[in-house]
């Protein structure tokens, strides 16, 4: 009640202010007229937090958006304010979205509307918005241009919601640049690939110089019937997967996108080369692995995905990787799943010192280092999502698997996207670009060379423009039970209640993109995720009897309890 009364009083003051502005204040009246003229004859259409004098190409006659800033805390008040918005002469509310607390503000007339691009100052928008905010003094409003936006590339694959890693790595923005080119080949050196999978078959790198199943080495490359790849474990031209691991890795790289089935790979336009070096049980010899790497490089793979390893170094595998380097291939290797520091307990070939190797750790859905993942401040380069990853599997099926084996093809796929965006890039360029394109995370600091998890959009943008995007600040610290604080409050709206709070570290800095859970006596558990301000919320039906609820996170931090009636 107190908030609503305050809003009503504020609106009365707006009316008085507007009256005097139009009747008795020449200076203000002049400012209003100038501001309206700016809107009618040329409004800068660019979003910005701090207005500068830089010039931008815009369209004339576009609109403004006015929104109620405190919509989280007082939605009913926001709707009332927007529906009774005060505007200077010459402007009108074209449309209102009460549930979103948003008003679309347009000029009364469209005189001089011209779709041709013009150059105007950003300060024009600032002046108009300042006038609107002054007319509605005392109410928390935001004002800015109604910016033209464009569709961010997505796909119609029905299982897209299972792939949290795509969102984490900004894949959808990266796809606006490239989804991968079929001319770029990624070799899956693994347990083989179930190549008849309907989500993979379109992206296979077919050897057109070879006639399948005729028992002849048609292209004289030393491998008989390597039409779809080669099986070094069994010594034939049929690299079919009998384990599922390689098929899963292949789908992470390039499960076909926009085909209306299953999921989608990070680089769903590139070509896949199946190379089987491990058997049904997941094991294989150094000689088979080395032969598979050599074959992949000879076939022209730009990137080799190697989700395998062991405790003992192998000179034959290192030699094969070195040979791949001379042919320009980047080799992406899993760091291992023993939860150990590779700086102290090495894993090979992740710890190989050949310069075209990238060692990959795994992160979880909360962007923390996965509990199983190996790490190493000087030996493990970067991370990618690797826990509960959804991808293709045997017999045209799909499965969730976890491991640095799953993180590795994500990085291989992003490298392939970079090569697709700029074919001139060398393996050294790809490696450097991947290093520059991570999102630095507090939980990875001191554990990885880069201290970050790969960002596909940054990598694709860097490859296509030669210019890195601005680095992402290190996320707020807070790993242990005492390093984060949770607040919780309850507000009642009729039969519903909203419980909300903030997740912050011990220095009161917001902790973003972390899961928070709600626990009540008789209400099913709920989960929310903190936003960039650390804010989270739960909407529930009010219980018949009063009960206590509290919020907690996965590291044992807990809020004070609140009573919900």
Nearest-angstrom CA–CA distance, 522 and 524: 7
Placement of tokens 């697709």 in the chain = 420
Tell me what the mean pLDDT of segment 86-94 comes to.
76
Q: Where are the beta strands (DSSP E) in 191-317?
A: 230-231, 271-276, 303-306
Contact 180, 267 (CB under 8 A): yes
Higher confidence at residue 429 or residue 92?
429
* Count of other CB atoms within 10 angstroms of residue 482: 11
User: Mean pLDDT: which of 140-149, 350-359, 478-487, 519-528 is highest?
Assistant: 350-359
Asked if residue 44 has pLDDT above 60, the reply is no
Paired sense of beta strands 562-564 and 489-493, if any: unpaired
Instruction: Give the tokens for residue 218.
Output: 């048609």
Higher confidence at residue 196 or residue 83?
196
pLDDT, one tens digit per residue, over 346-398 is 999 999 999 999 999 999 998 999 999 999 999 999 999 999 999 999 999 99
Of the pLDDT bands very low, low, confident and very high (cuts 50, 70, 90), residue 50 is: very low
- Res 69: pLDDT: 66
Asked if residue 561 has pLDDT above 80, the reply is yes
- Res 456: pLDDT: 96
Nearest-angstrom CA–CA distance, 105 and 94: 6
DSSP letter (8 states) at residue 49:
S
pLDDT, one tens digit per residue, over 282-291 is 999 999 999 9
Higher confidence at residue 106 or residue 261?
261
Tell me what the mean pLDDT of segment 177-205 comes to.
97
pLDDT, one tens digit per residue, over 1-37 is 333 333 333 444 444 444 444 454 444 444 444 443 3
Instruction: Give the tokens for residue 30.
Output: 């002049």
> Which helix (H) or strand (E) is 519 found in, with range?
strand 515-520
Closest CA to 416 of 292, 254, 249: 254
Burial (CB count <10 Å: 0-12, 13-18, 19+), residue 467: exposed
* Count of other CB atoms within 10 angstroms of residue 433: 24
- Res 25: pLDDT: 47
286-298 vs 315-326: helix axis angle to the nearest 10?
0
- Res 49: pLDDT: 27
pTM of the model: 0.64
At residue 133, the 3 state secondary structure works out as helix
At residue 506, the 3 state secondary structure works out as coil
Asked if residue 45 has pLDDT above 70, the reply is no
Contact 86, 11 (CB under 8 A): yes
**Average pLDDT of every residue of the chain:** 81
Tell me what the mean pLDDT of segment 529-541 comes to.
80
What residue spans define the domains of the chain? 2-145, 160-465, 484-564
- Res 482: pLDDT: 39
Paired sense of beta strands 64-68 and 102-107, if any: antiparallel
CA quadruple 221, 226, 231, 236: dihedral, nearest 10 = -90
DSSP letter (8 states) at residue 10:
H
- Res 13: pLDDT: 43
Nearest-angstrom CA–CA distance, 102 and 331: 50
Nearest-angstrom CA–CA distance, 457 and 418: 10
Nearest-angstrom CA–CA distance, 251 and 488: 41
Correct CATH for 160-465 of 3.40.50.200, 1.10.3720.10, 1.10.645.10, 3.30.450.20: 3.40.50.200
- Res 100: pLDDT: 62
Nearest-angstrom CA–CA distance, 165 and 252: 10
Instruction: Evaluate the omega torsion of the peptide bond into residue 349 and state whether it is cis, within 30 degrees of 0.
Output: yes
- Res 402: pLDDT: 96
**484-564: which CATH topology?**
Immunoglobulin-like (2.60.40)
Could you give the residue ranges of the DSSP H alpha helices within 264-349? 286-298, 315-326
Instruction: Give the catalytic positions in this structure.
Output: 190, 245, 405
């Amino acid at each position: 009640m107190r908030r609503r009364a305050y809003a009503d009083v504020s609106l009365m003051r707006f009316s008085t202010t507007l009256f005097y502005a139009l009747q008795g204040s020449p200076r203000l009246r002049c400012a209003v007229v100038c501001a309206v003229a700016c809107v009618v004859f040329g409004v800068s259409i660019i979003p910005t937090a701090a207005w500068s004098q830089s010039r931008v190409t815009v369209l004339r006659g576009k609109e403004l958006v006015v929104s109620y800033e405190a919509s989280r805390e007082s939605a009913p008040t926001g709707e009332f304010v927007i529906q009774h918005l005060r505007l200077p002469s010459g402007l009108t509310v074209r449309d209102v979205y009460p549930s979103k607390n948003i008003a679309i503000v347009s000029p009364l007339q469209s005189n001089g509307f011209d779709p041709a691009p013009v150059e105007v100052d950003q300060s024009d928008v600032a002046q108009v918005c300042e006038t609107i905010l002054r007319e509605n003094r005392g109410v928390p409003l935001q004002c800015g241009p109604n910016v033209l936006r464009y569709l961010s590339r997505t796909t119609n694959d029905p299982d897209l919601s299972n792939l949290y890693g795509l969102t984490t790595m900004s894949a959808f923005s990266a796809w606006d640049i490239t989804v991968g080119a079929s001319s770029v080949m990624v070799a899956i050196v693994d347990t083989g690939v179930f190549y008849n999978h309907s989500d993979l078959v379109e992206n296979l790198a077919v050897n057109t110089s070879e006639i399948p199943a005729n028992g002849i080495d048609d292209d004289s490359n030393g491998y008989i019937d390597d039409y779809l790849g080669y099986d070094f474990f069994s010594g034939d031209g049929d690299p079919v997967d009998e384990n599922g691991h390689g098929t899963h890795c292949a789908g992470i790289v390039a499960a076909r996108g926009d085909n209306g089935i299953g999921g989608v790979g990070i680089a769903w336009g590139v070509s896949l080369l199946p190379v089987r070096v491990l058997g049904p049980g997941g094991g294989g010899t150094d000689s088979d692995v080395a032969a598979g790497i050599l074959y992949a490089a000879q076939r022209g793979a730009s990137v080799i995905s190697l989700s395998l390893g062991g405790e003992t170094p192998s000179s034959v595998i290192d030699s094969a990787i070195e040979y791949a380097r001379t042919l320009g291939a980047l080799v992406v290797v899993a760091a291992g799943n023993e939860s150990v520091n590779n700086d102290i307990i090495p894993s090979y070939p992740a710890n190989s010192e050949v310069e075209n190797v990238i060692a990959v750790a795994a992160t979880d859905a909360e962007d923390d280092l996965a509990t199983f993942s190996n790490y190493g401040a000087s030996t493990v380069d970067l991370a990618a999502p690797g826990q509960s990853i959804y991808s293709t599997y045997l017999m045209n099926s799909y499965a969730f698997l976890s491991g640095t084996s799953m993180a590795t093809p994500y990085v291989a796929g992003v490298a392939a996207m970079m090569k697709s965006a700029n074919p001139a890039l060398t393996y050294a360029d790809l490696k450097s670009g991947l290093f520059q394109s991570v999102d630095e995370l507090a939980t990875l600091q001191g554990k990885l060379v880069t201290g970050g998890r790969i960002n596909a959009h940054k990598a694709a943008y860097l490859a296509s423009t030669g210019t890195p995007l601005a680095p992402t600040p290190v996320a707020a610290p807070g790993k242990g039970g005492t390093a984060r604080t949770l607040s919780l409050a309850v507000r009642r709206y009729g039969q519903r209640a909203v419980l909300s709070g903030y997740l912050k570290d011990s220095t009161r800095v917001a902790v973003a993109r972390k899961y928070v859970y709600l626990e009540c006596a008789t209400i099913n558990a709920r989960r929310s995720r903190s936003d960039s301000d650390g804010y989270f919320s739960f909407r529930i039906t009010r219980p018949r009897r009063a009960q206590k609820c509290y919020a907690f996170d996965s590291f044992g931090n807990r809020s004070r309890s609140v009573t919900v009636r």
